Amino acid sequence: MKQKSMPKTPDEFKTNHLSRIFHLLLLLFIFYLPSFASAEYKEVQQNGKTVTGLIKDQQGEPLPGVVVAVKGTTIGTYSDENGKYSLNVPNSNLTLTFSFIGYNTQEVALNGKSSLNITLQENTQQLDEIVVVGYGSLKKSEIATAVVSIKPDDFNYGGARDPMSLLEGKIAGLNVTRTSGVNPNSSAAFQLRGVTSLSGSQSPLIVIDGIPDGNLDLIQPDDIESMEILKDGSAAAIYGSRANAGVILITTKSGKKGDLHFEYSTFITKHYLARTPRVLTANEYRDLRNDPNNPKAGQMVDYGSSTDFYQALADKDNLTHTHNLAITGGNDAATYRASLFYNDFDGIGLQNDRKNYGGRMSLHARGYDNMLTGQINLAINHDYRNRLGDSEGLWQAATTMNPTLGLHDEVEQRVNPINRMNAHRLKRDGQNTMVSGKLGLEPVKDLIFSVFGSLQRDNWLESEYINVNSWESKQSHEGLGFAKKESEQEIKGAVEPTVEYSKLFNSKHSLNAVGGYSFQYTLWERTKMENKGFLNDVTQDNDMGAGSWLAAGKAKMESEKQEDKLIAFFGRVNYAYDSRYVAQISLRHEGSTKFGANHKWGNFPSYSVAWNASNEEFMKGVNYLSLLKIRLGYGVTGNSGIDRYQSIITMGTGGFYLSPDGRWVQTYGPSTNPNPNLKWEMKQEWNLGFDFGFLKNRIGGSIDLYKRTTKDLLGKYGTQQPPYIFSDIFINVGDIASKGVELTLNTIPVSGKEFMWKADLAASYTDNTLKSLSNDLYEQPYILDGDIGGMGDLGKAIRVYPGERMGNFYGKRFAGFNEAGKWLFYNKDGEKVLADQINDGDMGVIGNGVPKFYLGMSHYFKYKEFDLSIVLRGKFGFDVLNITDMQFGNRVALPDNILKRAITTHADLNDTYQYSDYYLEKGDFVKIDNITIGYNFINKSGNKKIPRFRVYFTGRDLLTMTGYSGLDPEVRDTGINTGLDKPDRYPVTRSFTLGLNMTF
């Protein structure tokens, strides 16, 4: 029988249908707008002015396909194959802009002219581009470190729901992985140049508009102006003890001079299940139950129905829609930009959605003859999440339910996941707020004093309730209601005064120096309460005191509060001579309360040099070479991404004792061992880079080679009792060595008036090796991680010894099955023996879960007003442990439902669960990740009332080419817990998006 999704509540039904009506009206507007534009075009033809002209390059050759536009409006056209253009404008006192790939954009005032000829200058090196580098910005030609800048034109657009989605497959060395698929309540895991730590932070430091450790929930993709990735140590050292994993700088859009104009963007997305676990159908289950050779047939029950619980748990009516409206404008004295957004992310699972709304505002002003400048940024986000549909174990339960059960039937062994949707509530409401300001004073030319301040507040409240008489309640809460509330709040403040001096001497000597002080404060607190014994579901978790466990003294209540401070002095000097030679040094002297009394402060220096060889006189005659730049850098960074209070004695509660007055009194005592020598992890990194460009930069890119060592790894080690009170201590022991190569290639194979093709490549190779884990006082033989979980108590899958690659799978080596279907494994002598004859000495490295090679490839095609982009991603040289197959591809899992592979691929297996290389598979894959086709409406009429818009259609996760037999080979490959494909993973989906961008 065909199963249906759970019906929506009246409010959900109303919301979804209002959304559909809104988007229907929007689409009608899109399709009827051209006819409206045509009428307006006739009007402007009669009342406007016509400007004509010829556009050439420096050699006098005509340039076809140049974009000619009226500045600050949506009015524009293209030059034809002879370089000629004709544009209708409202009047003759406007400014025209001329832009073309590979050439500098020009702005020319008409001043009453009706004819305007233009010669565009080649942007052969694009070295005058300004790049944000942290605590300032530099010309691209004056950068000697590994910094990558990416602008909106190069983002991975097409329905991106968060900032990191924009970078997928775009940056060599940056790995972005969605470990929970399209779950709206999860975020992507991202890692730069491989693993750098065992216990510390693994992700790059995020800096948003100068705010350190910024919250990505406060950023909408449409509000981003640029993203800079500081990849190597010499670029990131200016951020000190938090930059081991690199730094990502996000700059949001600010106001532009000109008339007030609006920008609106929206998209709707529908998700579909792409691949589902191939479990036994109800009829296949019955056939196996009736099989006389099935020893578990007697435990299998036929309940008379036919249900696909995995499909039933999917929300077939899911519909995601987002909206972003921005207003911008300004004049010479002040510019402003304000934006509002509303997002409704609807996941593939029932009760799995997220709604958030908020806004962002920026104001930039200058006065006193441009001597004083100021800016204010404000952002706010309200967040509402329904987390029940992505809670742990839910999809695994749907996979293993007896398919002969009815949709709402219950059995003693487990909760019916469909019923759980009605009897269980799990929601989280949050709010994120950020405000920052900067005041600058330039008392003399080229010398600027600034002070920057920011305050960020993030808080959420999570509520959970389990209904009276539900299956879960009967099993765990005596048939009565259960309620829980948990809240968390974090407040971050920063104050950073700086002084910057920039000067060009004798047209050849360029000097930029910046110095400053940083004070950062973080306050974190959490509260949690639980109660049971609710007699009815009237108040749910809104009256926590109504449960009977409170009066009985069995209710739970917890709270916690922590704080830390960071203080730093920093400076950087950058010198460039004649656009040929560049040298840069920086130093950050930083202290943190997280570390021990003997190591509160540390130094983080960097040194880098660069040679713009293509600017040398002897290279002038090499016409095919547009750019050749060689960079060499060395930098020291740190990692302080650990829990607070690891270096000092903390107090905790113990048991109760009976006081002389007859009262039971709570005891307190030490809960940790102190370590006054605790310090940050330290990474030393060398980077050699080559930037190149050929054929007027129609072919360009970079190659980076790096080698680094992370020392003084942070982690817990066992210690002696006495002298220590507790059996473990948090200390610095061990090293990780890394090396790699990164290639970025940007090409323009075809560039004409009507057709253009851009092709980009981002590829990288990385190798991370554990060098040591011990010192004279503390010893640990190996890293152990990667819980297999499930049945069989199989322990951990990952074991790495010093001298080996991070991510090694360590286990038994499969040797076949004997005649009875029992496991056979190779021992250390190469003999085939039964599983109970294998000991630790017989096992070894059987695979590795960290990809060696990463590949991202983007193609962009433009034909007249149509555009097409195709994004592919690939990962190679790694293995995936198919734990789903291990747990449910074995008939021993009966009477629960099992994978069909248990009676086909694994038909010879007649034994219990075992972890070995039998379940390891090559994970190499290539994905067609994103295909977007769009149409751009260009306003040629000269009427400002007609908006400029783009409509597009996107397909995501369209095809995965792989030999892996599971749902998806792209599993977690960041950190040290890698390569595990677990059965409780979020479903694999395919999605389609219809979007609109409009400016008016």
pLDDT in tens, 480-508: 999 999 999 999 999 999 999 999 998 89
At 7, the pLDDT band (50, 70, 90 cuts) reads very low
pTM of the shown model: 0.87
In this predicted structure, which of 45-59, 204-218, 720-734, 848-862 has the lowest mean pLDDT? 45-59
The answer, yes or no, to whether residue 34 has pLDDT greater than 70, is: no
CA–CA distance, 40 with 925 (Å, rounded to integer) = 51
- Secondary structure letter of residue 335 according to DSSP: E
Q: What is the mean pLDDT of the chain?
A: 89
Nearest to 736 by CA among 756, 714, 760, 759: 714
Q: Are strands 67-70 and 76-78 parallel, antiparallel or unpaired?
A: antiparallel
| Residue 50: predicted pLDDT | 86
At 128, the pLDDT band (50, 70, 90 cuts) reads low
The answer, yes or no, to whether residue 655 has pLDDT greater than 70, is: yes
Q: Determine the Cα angle at 860 with ends 630 and 130, to 5°.
A: 40
The answer, yes or no, to whether residue 603 has pLDDT greater than 60, is: yes
Top-confidence residue, 381 or 332: 381
Top-confidence residue, 114 or 609: 609
At 840, the pLDDT band (50, 70, 90 cuts) reads very high
Structure tokens belonging to residue 740: 């790699």
Mean pLDDT of 231-256: 93
pLDDT digits (tens, 9 = 90+) for 957-977: 999 999 999 999 999 988 889
| Residue 534: predicted pLDDT | 92
The answer, yes or no, to whether residue 39 has pLDDT greater than 70, is: no
CA–CA distance, 718 with 726 (Å, rounded to integer) = 9
| Residue 629: predicted pLDDT | 95
Percent of the chain clearing pLDDT 70 (strictly above) = 93
Nearest to 983 by CA among 963, 968, 961: 968
- Side chain identity at 676, as an amino acid letter? P
Top-confidence residue, 28 or 478: 478
The answer, yes or no, to whether residue 41 has pLDDT greater than 80, is: no
CB atoms within 10 A of CB 156: 23
| Residue 732: predicted pLDDT | 93
pLDDT digits (tens, 9 = 90+) for 251-270: 999 998 888 889 999 999 99
At 43, the pLDDT band (50, 70, 90 cuts) reads very low
Mean pLDDT of 556-584: 95
CB 803 within 8 A of CB 769: yes
pLDDT digits (tens, 9 = 90+) for 765-814: 999 999 999 998 898 999 999 999 887 779 999 999 999 999 999 999 99
CA–CA distance, 352 with 336 (Å, rounded to integer) = 37
| Residue 940: predicted pLDDT | 66
| Residue 30: predicted pLDDT | 42
CA–CA distance, 944 with 40 (Å, rounded to integer) = 10
CA–CA distance, 38 with 462 (Å, rounded to integer) = 53
CB atoms within 10 A of CB 321: 22
The answer, yes or no, to whether residue 314 has pLDDT greater than 60, is: yes
CA–CA distance, 929 with 170 (Å, rounded to integer) = 12
Percent of the chain clearing pLDDT 90 (strictly above) = 66
The answer, yes or no, to whether residue 19 has pLDDT greater than 80, is: no
| Residue 28: predicted pLDDT | 44
CA–CA distance, 481 with 752 (Å, rounded to integer) = 69
Top-confidence residue, 19 or 234: 234
| Residue 236: predicted pLDDT | 95
- Largest Cα separation within the chain, whole Å, is 103
Mean pLDDT of 579-608: 95
Q: Give Cα 651 distance to the centre of its chain.
A: 37
